[in-house]
C-alpha cells in the first residue's frame, strides 16, 4: 500500500444538505476507503467532511455537493487550473451513492488519464464494426461498469457505490476471482445492467463505450479523442458522452430537500482557493 496518503474532502454548497449529513456520509466514505477500497486498490486515503469550501485544506481533493448544477457538463470529475482533481455532485435523493462513485474513482485515478490494455469487452456485438479489434485501451473508471444503484451496498446505513477490482483488467477469467467488490461482475471487461465501460483503439485514437440498458448492449461511438488544453482523458471522454446524450437528462436529476444547512465555525481558512474553484466551476458552464 502506498505510504503517500490521499485526502478527499466532502463539502456541501447546497442549502439542502446540512453539515451533519455531510459528516455522516463522510464517515461512511472513510470506512469504505479504509476497509473496502484501499486494500484492494493499494490506496491509503482519508475522507473528511467540511462545513464550507473555505475550510478545505490545500492538499485535499474536494467532492463538492451543489443543487445549482443546471448543465450536464458540470457534474462529475474535473481538474482545476492547477491540474488538481475535484468532483461536483448534483444533490438529489441518491447523492451519497454518487459521492461514493466520485470519491472511489478519484482515489483510483486522481488525474483522469490512467489506462490499461486488454481485449474487447465480451459483450461486444459480433456484428459491430469494432468486433475485429484485438487490443484496446480501457480508461480506468472503477465504478462505471457496476454503477447502477441496484448494486450499491450499505456502510453505516448509507448506500455506497460498488466498484471493480484490478482483476477486472485480467486477460482471462478464472474461477474464484473477485472482479467487483460485491461479486456481481463475473468476468473481465464485462458490464452490468445500467453500467458502461470506456475504451479506445490505440491505432487511430477512436474511443467507444459498451453500454447496457434494459438488457440491451449498445456500442456508443465517441470519435477521435486527443487530450488537449490541459484536460484529462476522463474529462474528454465525458465531454463526448454529453454530446452523444445531449437530448437526455444526463447527469442532471430532480432536486430534493434533504435538510437545513448547518452553521459551524471555520476550521481552516482558504478563501483564495475556494474563490478560484467557484470561478472555475462557473467557467465550465
- Residues 270, 275: Cα–Cα separation, whole Å: 9
Domain membership flag for residue 263: yes
Q: Per-residue confidence at 261, pLDDT binned at 50, 70, 90? A: very low
Q: Which is nearest to 114 in space by CA: 75, 77, 152, 73?
A: 77
- Residues 53, 62: Cα–Cα separation, whole Å: 8
Q: Per-residue confidence at 48, pLDDT binned at 50, 70, 90? A: very high
Mean pLDDT of 192-221: 96
130 pLDDT more than 80: yes
Mean pLDDT of 172-178: 88
Backbone angles phi, psi at 280, to 5 degrees: -65, -40
Q: Per-residue confidence at 264, pLDDT binned at 50, 70, 90? A: very low
206 pLDDT more than 50: yes
Q: Per-residue confidence at 248, pLDDT binned at 50, 70, 90? A: low
What pLDDT does residue 273 have? 76
DSSP state of 148: S
What pLDDT does residue 73 have? 60
Q: Which is nearest to 8 in space by CA: 25, 35, 26, 23?
A: 26
What pLDDT does residue 171 have? 92
| Long-range contacts from 255-260, C-beta under 8 angstroms, 24+ separation | 255/16, 255/67, 255/91, 255/92, 256/16, 256/91, 256/92, 256/93, 257/16, 258/16, 258/17, 258/18, 258/21, 258/91, 258/93, 258/95, 259/16, 259/17, 259/18, 259/20, 259/21, 260/15, 260/18
What pLDDT does residue 227 have? 79
DSSP state of 59: T
Of 9 and 246, more confident: 9
What pLDDT does residue 280 have? 82
What pLDDT does residue 246 have? 62
- Residues 39, 24: Cα–Cα separation, whole Å: 22
Of 242 and 8, more confident: 8
What pLDDT does residue 40 have? 97
What pLDDT does residue 268 have? 37
Angle at alpha carbon of residue 15, lines to 10 and 18, rounded to 5° = 50
- Residues 26, 5: Cα–Cα separation, whole Å: 17
pLDDT, tens digit (0-9, with 9 covering 90-100), for 97-122: 999 999 999 999 999 999 999 999 99
Q: Per-residue confidence at 185, pLDDT binned at 50, 70, 90? A: very high
**How is residue 19 written as a grid cell?**
453539515
Domain membership flag for residue 189: yes
What pLDDT does residue 75 have? 79
Domain membership flag for residue 70: yes
Domain membership flag for residue 1: no
What pLDDT does residue 241 have? 85
Domain count within the chain: 1
Mean pLDDT of 169-179: 91
- Average pLDDT, whole number, for the chain? 88
Over the Cα atoms of the chain, what is R_g? 19
Cβ partners under 8 Å of residue 140, min gap 6: 108, 109, 114, 115, 116
Residue 115: helix, strand or coil by DSSP? strand
Domain that holds residue 251: 6-284
254 pLDDT more than 60: no
What are the percentages of helix, strand and coil residues in the chain, rounded to 5? Answer: 25, 25, 50
Q: Per-residue confidence at 284, pLDDT binned at 50, 70, 90? A: confident
Amino acid at each position: 500500500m502506498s505510504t503517500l496518503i490521499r485526502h478527499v474532502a466532502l463539502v456541501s454548497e447546497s442549502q439542502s444538505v446540512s453539515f451533519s449529513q455531510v459528516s455522516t456520509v463522510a464517515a461512511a466514505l472513510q470506512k469504505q476507503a479504509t476497509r473496502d477500497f484501499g486494500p484492494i486498490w493499494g490506496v491509503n486515503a482519508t475522507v473528511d467532511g467540511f462545513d464550507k469550501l473555505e475550510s478545505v485544506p490545500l492538499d485535499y481533493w474536494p467532492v463538492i455537493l451543489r443543487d445549482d448544477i443546471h448543465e450536464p457538463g458540470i457534474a462529475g470529475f474535473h481538474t482545476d487550473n492547477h491540474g488538481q482533481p475535484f468532483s461536483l455532485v448534483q444533490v438529489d435523493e441518491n447523492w451519497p451513492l454518487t459521492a461514493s462513485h466520485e470519491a472511489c474513482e478519484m482515489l483510483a485515478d486522481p488525474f483522469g488519464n490512467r489506462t490499461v490494455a486488454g481485449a474487447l469487452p465480451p459483450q461486444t456485438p459480433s456484428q459491430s464494426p469494432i468486433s475485429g479489434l484485438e487490443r484496446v485501451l480501457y480508461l480506468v473508471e472503477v465504478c462505471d461498469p457496476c454503477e447502477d444503484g441496484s448494486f450499491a451496498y450499505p456502510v453505516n446505513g448509507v448506500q455506497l457505490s460498488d466498484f471493480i477490482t484490478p482483476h477486472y483488467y485480467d486477460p482471462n477469467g478464472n474461477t474464484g476471482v473477485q472482479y467487483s467488490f460485491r461479486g456481481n461482475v463475473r468476468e473481465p471487461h464485462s458490464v452490468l445492467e445500467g453500467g458502461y465501460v470506456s475504451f479506445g483503439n490505440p491505432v487511430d485514437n477512436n474511443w467507444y463505450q459498451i453500454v447496457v440498458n434494459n438488457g440491451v448492449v449498445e456500442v456508443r461511438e465517441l470519435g477521435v479523442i486527443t487530450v488537449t488544453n490541459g484536460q484529462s482523458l476522463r474529462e474528454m471522454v465525458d465531454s463526448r458522452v454529453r454530446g452523444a446524450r445531449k437530448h437526455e437528462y444526463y447527469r442532471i436529476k430532480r432536486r430534493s430537500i434533504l435538510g437545513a444547512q448547518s452553521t459551524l465555525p471555520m476550521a481552516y481558512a482558504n478563501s483564495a482557493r475556494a474563490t478560484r474553484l467557484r470561478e472555475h466551476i462557473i467557467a465550465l458552464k
